[in-house]
Chain A
Amino acid sequence: MNAPVPGHTHARALDSDGIPVITTSGLTKVYRSRGREVTALDGVDLHVREGEVYGVIGQSGAGKSSLIRCVNLLERPTSGTVTVAGQDLTALAGHGPRAGRELRQARSRIGMVFQHFNLLSSRTVQDNVELPLEILGKSGKERSRKALELLDLVGLADKAKAHPAQLSGGQKQRVGIARALAGDPKVLLSDEATSALDPETTRSILQLLRDLNRQLGLTVLLITHEMDVVKSICDSAALMERGRIVESGTVSELLATPGSELASALFPVGGEATGTDRTVLDVTFHGEAATQPVISQLSRTYNIDISILGAAIDTVGGLQIGRMRIELPGRYEDNVVPVGFLREQGLQIDVVEHEGQEPVLVKEGAK
């Protein structure tokens, strides 16, 4: 397979036909306990391309955890296949709950970080990072060289001799990341890596993941329930509900999808029409259009007054993206021409049909 290219351009260069590094098809996981069956994954098809940061978001119980655990076969899927870096892991699984040698070797090439860090309290920071290398059978000298190098990479070179109990949450997760990178993985799985951290620490850990993604060409698959995580580092995202992926794509694809729940959750814009005789539009800018003064052009060209009801402009996965809810006087039928003008400018226009209805994503307790 392709070696990671240093300084590999990510996000922007990605489109639907990038090289898939993680592919799941028809992934199903059914838990049986005492005659009851719970379907955690219901035919999940996931395609994560090389060098991207891919976020899977959903409520707890949506099946995210099962999904990420099925990728390195910590959990055996009931049916379906998982391919990582061209290798069909489900074919290596064999029978019974124990992992055979081939599967274990494949796992050692997939890094994983955990919500609760899962560091061994009996070992120092350096020894924790060395653990995967011990499993790979590396010599003592090589292990300590590599461990110190990785600790330096995550900014904890001075903590090598400390024990995990002496570290803060963010530092522990940095150690977890260093440990996950010890086997030079192409792929990093992140299981709610920032969910146990405060907002500021979350940002620094996400930044670290982003840097590693860029510097090492590392493909990152992360699961989270926090929209901010997707917003700050993901190139692509998928929304999971009840064991299914209901939306997926690159951030710009999602934004270009009319009525995308993920897009409106990434860019919540509020505001209600001020009267019945008004047209409310959601305007999504991305790429070139984001830098053009389209609204004032619209106003001048058609001599209409435009009210801005709500707006959000942000950077998602390195792309500048904005959403704006505007109000034009008159009903939709009267505004066909201005709407056409906006669409010509390369903007995505969604007409807000019902007044006061806010686009809501990840509905609380969706059932």
Chain B
Amino acid sequence: MTWSEMWSLLEPECWNTAYMVGWSTLIAVAGGLPLGILLVVSERGGLLQNVVVNKVLGQVVNITRSMPFIILMVALTSLTRWITGTSIGRDAAIVPLAIGAIPFFARLVETAVREVDGGLVEAVQSMGGNTLTIVRKVLVPEALPSLIASATTTLVALIGYSAMAGTVGAGGLGDLAVRYGYQRFETGLMWVIVAILAVVISLIQFGGDYAARALHHRGARSGPAPKLRLLKAKEPAAADVTEVA
């Protein structure tokens, strides 16, 4: 198989993967963020303590997460058909991808939000802030670096899941690797796909880490974003610089 033959196969599948993963990540973030926050605030001693809601949501999340993705995809066929009008193709694949990723992201959000210092919540309560204010002005902004890292993890996991979307005829790079690389012994193509995935995932991870770090160190350094460690020796910690004053 020549490079140009490979490319004509690869290009549309790259877009398929990007399309499925992109949309399902957006939906997972939009759905998982409120779900994760709800898991934190509804727990015992939380801002909106509601043990029943907490237990039910926790169970739903656990069950969804414990299901292998390929089974979830099949189990959700009728829901997918109801939402998209079809159970095959890339639009149809977005539904199970998103539904599988929502609880995954929600658990990561839960951990990130739980890390926020309770003193900050108390401070805003003492100013007369309500629960919505606390969520919007404290929990989300303070957890933002972790939330970005969580979204990155979710995006990478979804690229993995999307390899199975081929089972419902959605195409994508993973499907291409299985059909050509495995079933037709086109080992060359398979390695090219592996290389593409490795590069893409590295770039996503790098970008996510960079953004999370930039937000995390906000104010701790002089510039708007951290300098890359690769390019410059590590700067002294902020404490050393400012505490003397």
Chain A, residues 149-170, CB within 8 Å of chain B (1/0): the string is 0000000000000111111110
Instruction: Give the chain B neighbours of A123 by CB distance below 8 A.
Output: 141
A165 touches which of B125, B129, B137, B219 (Cβ 8 Å): B219
Query: By the criterion CB–CB under 8 Å, are B49 and A135 in contact?
Result: no
Instruction: Give the chain B neighbours of A165 by CB distance below 8 A.
Output: 218-220, 238, 242
A112 near B: Cβ within 8 Å? yes
Query: By the criterion CB–CB under 8 Å, are A107 and B142 in contact?
Result: no
Q: How far is the CA of A106 from the CA of B238 in the complex (A)?
A: 38
Distance of A279 from chain B, by nearest CB (Å):
53
A9 near B: Cβ within 8 Å? no
Chain A, residues 298-326, CB within 8 Å of chain B (1/0): the string is 00000000000000000000000000000
B122 touches which of A74, A97, A132, A182 (Cβ 8 Å): A74
Distance of B221 from chain A, by nearest CB (Å):
9
Instruction: Give the chain A neighbours of B122 by CB distance below 8 A.
Output: 74, 114, 118
A222 near B: Cβ within 8 Å? no
B133 near A: Cβ within 8 Å? yes
Known: A166-B219, A166-B220. A122 touches B130 (CB 8 A): no
Q: How far is the CA of A182 from the CA of B47 in the complex (A)?
A: 24
A116 near B: Cβ within 8 Å? yes
Mark out the residues of chain A between 103 and 160 whose CB falls within 8 Å of any chain B CB in the assembled complex.
104-108, 110, 112, 114, 116, 118, 120-124, 131-132, 134-136
Instruction: Give the chain A neighbours of B220 by CB distance below 8 A.
Output: 163, 165-166
A72 near B: Cβ within 8 Å? yes
A14 near B: Cβ within 8 Å? no
Q: How far is the CA of A209 from the CA of B179 in the complex (A)?
A: 74
Query: By the criterion CB–CB under 8 Å, are A162 and B219 in contact?
Result: yes
Q: How far is the CA of A135 from the CA of B244 in the complex (A)?
A: 34
Query: By the criterion CB–CB under 8 Å, are A135 and B119 in contact?
Result: no
Known: A120-B142, A122-B218. A131 touches B124 (CB 8 A): yes
Query: By the criterion CB–CB under 8 Å, are A122 and B127 in contact?
Result: no
Instruction: Give the chain B neighbours of A166 by CB distance below 8 A.
Output: 219-220, 238, 242
A257 near B: Cβ within 8 Å? no
B70 near A: Cβ within 8 Å? no
A51 near B: Cβ within 8 Å? no
B233 near A: Cβ within 8 Å? no
Bin chain A's interface residue count. Answer: 35 or more
B120 touches which of A105, A120, A135, A171 (Cβ 8 Å): A120
Query: By the criterion CB–CB under 8 Å, are B128 and A98 in contact?
Result: no
Query: By the criterion CB–CB under 8 Å, are B117 and A118 in contact?
Result: yes
Distance of A200 from chain B, by nearest CB (Å):
12
Known: A118-B123, A121-B142. A135 touches B219 (CB 8 A): no
Mark out the residues of chain B between 196 and 242 whose CB falls within 8 Å of any chain A CB in the assembled complex.
215, 218-220, 238, 242
Instruction: Give the chain A neighbours of B138 by CB distance below 8 A.
Output: 120
Distance of B39 from chain A, by nearest CB (Å):
17
Chain B, residues 72-83, CB within 8 Å of chain A (1/0): the string is 000000000000
Instruction: Give the chain A neighbours of B144 by CB distance below 8 A.
Output: 122
B126 touches which of A74, A98, A105 (Cβ 8 Å): A74
B243 near A: Cβ within 8 Å? yes
Q: How far is the CA of A115 from the CA of B127 in the complex (A)?
A: 16
Distance of B76 from chain A, by nearest CB (Å):
36
Known: A165-B219, A168-B243. A99 touches B124 (CB 8 A): no
B9 near A: Cβ within 8 Å? no
Query: By the criterion CB–CB under 8 Å, are A132 and B128 in contact?
Result: yes
Instruction: Give the chain A neighbours of B131 by CB distance below 8 A.
Output: 98
Q: List 25 A-B contacts (CB under 8 A).
A: A97-B47, A98-B131, A105-B128, A107-B126, A110-B126, A116-B117, A118-B120, A118-B122, A120-B141, A120-B142, A121-B218, A121-B219, A122-B142, A131-B137, A132-B128, A134-B137, A162-B219, A165-B218, A165-B238, A166-B220, A179-B127, A182-B127, A183-B127, A183-B128, A189-B126
Known: A112-B123, A134-B137, A165-B219. 7 other contacts (CB 8 A): A74-B122, A97-B47, A116-B117, A163-B218, A166-B219, A179-B123, A183-B128
Give residues in B with beta carbon < 8 Å to A: 47-49, 117, 119-120, 122-131, 133, 137-138, 141-142, 144, 215, 218-220, 238, 242-245
